[in-house]
């Protein structure tokens, strides 16, 4: 049986408040985004980057892949771990790219190539059939063996060409619902605007009580 990790700053994996969690990603954009969102729930909680080997993400759902990554990061660091598996689900494509969003144009994880391929595949599709949603499934795993997943859904539709310089991934072509008549892509949102309403923010609303109790 593994013993709870005791954080050198006073936190523990099973008892006292912890001061750090590791985010199971090497993506600096995601670390910054998670830190901004976590700060609204636990401003004392530092999100640190994962520096270990990448596990094989062979799950067939967002939840399975998130748990695979969180388990690996917690085991490697001895810290509570968060992992996000997210992607864009295009309804006319039966929910694809889905869990393959990061690799849609190949294993190089090239955002521009992924976006260009998806636009090409939808080139003959017009509204109202360009609906899609972002899915974020976040897993939390502690050294003490607690595992939990939550899900956030952000509905919208896809533009016919990229707009804006902000965000990453498919953000420049995703136009969220509920903008009161505005037609901005997430690429035209500020980071603050995106972090307040995104699929990850929605998942964190469900995760908040668990973070507060860490």
Taking CA atoms, 19 is separated from 52, 79, 213, in Å, by 20, 10, 12
Longest dimension (CA), the chain: 58
pTM of the model: 0.85
At 49 the pLDDT is: 92
- 199 annotated as ligand-binding: yes
Q: Which residues of the chain have pLDDT under 50?
A: 1-15
Please tell me the predicted confidence (pLDDT) of residue 209. 86
Q: Return the domain boundaries, the chain.
A: 20-213
Q: Are 117 and 110 within 8 A, CB to CB?
A: no
What pLDDT, on the 0 to 100 scale, is given for residue 91?
A: 98
Is 110 annotated as belonging to a binding site? no
Flag whether 26 is marked binding.
Answer: yes
CATH architecture of 20-213: Alpha-Beta Complex (3.90)
Nearest Cα residue to 130 out of 165, 93, 104, 105: 93
List, by residue number, the catalytic residues: 85
73: its two tokens: 């990061």
């Amino acid at each position: 049986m593994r013993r709870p990790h005791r954080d050198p700053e006073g936190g523990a994996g099973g008892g006292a408040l912890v001061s750090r969690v590791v985010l199971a990603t090497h993506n600096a954009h995601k670390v910054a985004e998670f830190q901004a969102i976590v700060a609204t729930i636990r401003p004392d909680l530092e999100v640190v980057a994962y520096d270990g080997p990448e596990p094989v993400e062979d799950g067939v759902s967002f939840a399975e892949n998130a748990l695979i990554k969180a388990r690996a990061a917690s085991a490697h660091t001895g810290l509570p771990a968060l992992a996000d598996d997210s992607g864009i689900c295009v309804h006319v494509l039966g929910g694809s790219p889905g869990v393959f969003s990061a690799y849609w144009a190949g294993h190089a994880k090239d955002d521009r190539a992924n976006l260009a391929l998806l636009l090409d595949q939808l080139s003959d599709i017009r509204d109202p059939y360009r609906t899609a949603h972002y899915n974020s499934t976040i897993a939390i795993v502690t050294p003490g063996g607690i595992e939990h997943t939550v899900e956030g859904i952000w509905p919208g539709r896809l533009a016919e060409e990229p707009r804006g310089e902000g965000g990453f991934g498919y953000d420049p072509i995703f136009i969220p619902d509920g903008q009161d008549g505005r037609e901005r892509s997430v690429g035209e949102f500020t980071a603050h605007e995106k972090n307040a309403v995104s699929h990850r923010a929605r998942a964190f609303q469900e995760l908040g009580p668990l973070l507060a109790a860490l």
